[in-house]
Structure 1
Amino acid sequence: MINVGVVGTGYMGENHIRIYSEMEDVRLTGISDPNSSRVKELAARYDTLPFADHKKMFEKIKLDAISIAAPTTLHCPIVLDALEAGIDVLVEKPIADSVENATAMIESAEEMDRHLMVGHIERFNPAVLKLKEIINSGILGKIVSISTRRVGPYNPRIRDVGVILDIGVHDIDIISFVYGMKIKQVYAVAGSDIHSSEDHATVHLRLNHEYSGLLETNWLTPHKIRKLTAVGLKGVAYLDYLDQSVELHDDSWVWKAKVERAEPLQKELSHFIGCSRDGTCPRPSGEEGKHALEVALAAIRSYREERMIEI
């Protein structure tokens, strides 16, 4: 039996709590949040122990693994506390609010011999995994460009980061993942109209002299769109993250790939728990999460300084 906890009881944290409570061979042992009424309400609903302070939770109960779904600016101190308590950690994306803090978390995980996984949920979207399989098979030929569109209305709960770090980082990670290589240069155009940080952005990514990525993201579009296009020499793939569908086009045919629909977060948490149980290394790793953060921060720096940034 794996004893698991959750720090943070907002929208994403509650989803972690719900899924852990439904998993076999997993005991949701405790949850923590400074909002005492909220944490008590969820603890009663999911039959677990509530804590207003995560440090008290680490002291009072034995935990094997934990999800951290607190605000990004709080990731580093909470993760370090968990690792020092000997707990395997899944921290929601982005891994941290700075590269320095991400590095400190990675080094602590290595020192404590604990797992550190970053919650880039789209890695577990069945449509993304199918697209990766299709690309690796060579059906589309050499992939030369990947573009994404992740737009929708603003959620007032997002106060500590802008749209690039909040949702754009998903596609930064997926573009790197699908290509199987790191991003080397970033150029971004962005602006702030309804938020203290950027609320709309177009980000150009260069992986090497032949491969590129382009992502559009905003909090201004009145309806949610989550799509990706991968252009190859033999065809084009159109992916819809929400529908979990992949459609392929070449010069003769249009056909849909068979995708087994599933809840990405459930797949993500199952992977994390399996790694904690078996001692295998989770993916995305801390280093992969750090790379996505580096690129996102470089995009923010790029639009502010109006120039291309080397990673």
Structure 2
Amino acid sequence: MLKVGVIGAGAMGKNHIRIYSEMPGVELVGISDIDRELVEGLAQQYNTKAFTDYMELLAEGLDAVSIVVPTKMHRKVAIDAIEAGAHVLVEKPIADTVENAKAIIEAADSNGRLLMIGHIERFNPAVIKLKEIIEEGLLGKIVSISTTRVGPYNPRIRDVGVILDIGVHDIDIISFLYGRPVNQVYAVAGADIHSFEDHATIHMRLDHEFSGLVEVNWLTPHKVRKLTAVGVGGVAYLDYIDQTVELHDSGWVRKAKIEPKEPLKNELEYFIDCINKGKKPEPCGTDGNHALKVSLAAIESYKNEKLIEIKE
């Protein structure tokens, strides 16, 4: 029985708590949040312990912990958890700076702990199916992947702009589907309703031959989460929300058979399985750091109106 904890009981943290509490082979030892009333209520609901100081939770001898706190706190909380002996899942983005991301990765490596980054869309059944379709060559060589992730602004997002909050999802997914890193990025963005950017169009080049385009905003009154992958043999249309993939070629329109499942449940089950098998999880710290680098480069690009090279 793996002893697991969750640090951060906000909107996403509550989902981690719920899923761990239902998972076989896992004991939800405790949850931590600075909001005493919130964390005590959740602890009572899920029959576990409440902590307002996460160090007290880490002292319970956890095997694993989900870190679901504001991005600026990721470095300190993650390293404290790693040094306490826990395997760690850090919600995306891995950190607020590349330097802090590297510090988390180095701490995990030096302490022999597994580090996974919570890029949840990799565990969306539609993305899993599209990755299989691409690898089977059903679309031929993929030359362009574009995404649209737009919707109304969520007031709880205060510490980052739309690129780091939601654009990072599709930056990671495009790199994942191509199976290669981003080389260059150019972004156009602006801030109209938020102190950080609230709309952006991000152009990416991968290996100087492949194209990625990410459109994000907090201005559209309804939520859209879609991806289009263009290959020399056809095109795929993916809907993240409906968990559907349609393939169009010169002769057919086909809908992929996909069994819907909650992506976060897939993700946490995979994380626990990696721990049980001693297997390095993906997305790992390096993957998370690459998505962060590209996101930060996109921010630099729109602020300085220039193309940014991504160096590993």
TM-score class, shorter: over 0.9
Superposed CA deviations along residues 113-166 of structure 1, whole A, max 9, x for unmatched, are 000100000000010010010011111111000000000000000000000000
Alignment map for 1:165-176 (pairs within 5 Å):
165-176=164-175
Instruction: Give the drift of 1:234.
Output: 0.7
Structure 2: which amino acid aligns with 1:95? I
1:14 aligns with 2:53: no
Task: For 2:16 and 2:57, locate their aligned partners in 1 and report how far apart those are by CA, in whole Å.
Answer: 17
Task: For 1:189 and 1:245, locate their aligned partners in 2 and report how far apart those are by CA, in whole Å.
Answer: 29
Corresponding residue number in structure 2 for 1:272: 271
Structure 2: which amino acid aligns with 1:150? R
Structure 2: which amino acid aligns with 1:15? N
Alignment map for 1:127-138 (pairs within 5 Å):
127-138=126-137
- Does the residue aligned with 1:255 lie in a helix, a strand or coil? strand
Instruction: Give the drift of 1:233.
Output: 0.5
Corresponding residue number in structure 1 for 2:63: 64
Unaligned runs of 5+ in 2: none
Task: For 1:268 and 1:72, locate their aligned partners in 2 and report how far apart those are by CA, in whole Å.
Answer: 19
Task: For 2:54 and 2:245, locate their aligned partners in 1 and report how far apart those are by CA, in whole Å.
Answer: 41
TM-score, structure 2 normalization: 0.99
Task: For 1:25 and 1:135, locate their aligned partners in 2 and report how far apart those are by CA, in whole Å.
Answer: 34
- Does the residue aligned with 1:282 lie in a helix, a strand or coil? coil
Deviating 4+ runs (over 3 angstroms): none
Unaligned runs of 5+ in 1: none
1:85 aligns with 2:89: no
Superposed CA deviations along residues 12-52 of structure 1, whole A, max 9, x for unmatched, are 00000000000001000010011111000100000010000
Structure 2: which amino acid aligns with 1:268? E
Corresponding residue number in structure 2 for 1:263: 262
Instruction: Give the drift of 1:209.
Output: 2.2
1:285 aligns with 2:284: yes
Instruction: Give the drift of 1:278.
Output: 1.7
Instruction: Give the drift of 1:235.
Output: 0.3
TM-score, structure 1 normalization: 0.99
Q: CA RMSD in A?
A: 0.5
Residues 61 and 85, structure 2, Cα contact 8 Å, conserved in 1: no
Corresponding residue number in structure 2 for 1:197: 196
Percent identity between matched residues is: 66
Residues 167 and 216, structure 2, Cα contact 8 Å, conserved in 1: yes
Instruction: Give the drift of 1:300.
Output: 0.3
Structure 1: which amino acid aligns with 2:290? H
Instruction: Give the drift of 1:66.
Output: 0.3
Residues 61 and 84, structure 2, Cα contact 8 Å, conserved in 1: no
- Does the residue aligned with 1:38 lie in a helix, a strand or coil? helix
Instruction: Give the drift of 1:260.
Output: 1.3
Corresponding residue number in structure 1 for 2:96: 97
Corresponding residue number in structure 2 for 1:155: 154
